[in-house]
Amino acid sequence: MTPLYEARAPDVGVCLLAGGEATRLPGKLELTVGDVPMLVRVYRNVSPLGPTWLSIKGDLSPQINAAIDAPRVVDRWPKRGPLSGLLSTMSEMRNAWVFAVAGDAPFVDAAFARRLLAYVGPGVEAVVPMHDGERRRIEPLAALYRREAFLREGMPVLLSGDGALRLVIDRLETRFMPVRDERPFTNVNTPREYDALRETLA
């Protein structure tokens, strides 16, 4: 798919999701990746894009608080998944566009988000990475959303009792950016995945 135009000085902010339950790897955002906690690494990777906000469920560790100077929004609907965190935080933000990124995605960065911005055009409300292949998997937590449209369509999905980001994306005017490189979407959800990440960085 050919980008519509080269983005110029876009009004974009970042919503960094740091409020997951992490039941399979408790405290994972505080685990060291390289020489800093994982959440700090992701923050440093994406914050050059624009104003960065943290979606949280409660207090962060003193080490993370000392390293990240960014507004924090506590999830209004606990244990409802990333959709509730995005809605809570986007309602406080004022940027026209929001890049949503998971706190356990240590290889997603501002350069990747700028590739998504090149697909923005008239009427577009979301730009979502989609993997090539038969399953055509999407990456809703490394995606770009028009903030007002996401709030408009996300709230009905949340109130319906579901909460799947795919359902919100289906309600938006979405463009999909094809991706082939799997590395940016490395998530760390288990001890084995964390060990593999450390080996990769080593």
> Residue 3: its pLDDT value, please?
45
Assigned token pair, 42: 């992701």
First to last CA, the chain: 35
Instruction: Give percent of the chain with pLDDT exceeding 70.
Output: 93
- Predicted confidence band of residue 4 (pLDDT cuts 50, 70, 90): very low
**For residues 117 and 77, is the Cβ–Cβ distance under 8 A?**
no
Q: What is the DSSP letter of 179?
A: E
68-105: per-residue pLDDT in tens? Answer: 999 999 999 988 899 999 999 999 999 999 999 999 99
Regarding the domain with residue range 12-201, which homologous superfamily does it belong to in the CATH classification? Spore Coat Polysaccharide Biosynthesis Protein SpsA; Chain A (3.90.550.10)
Count CB neighbours of 23 within 10 A.
7
Give the containing element (helix H, strand E) for 67: helix 62-67
Q: Is the pTM of this model over 0.85?
A: yes
> Residue 5: its pLDDT value, please?
41
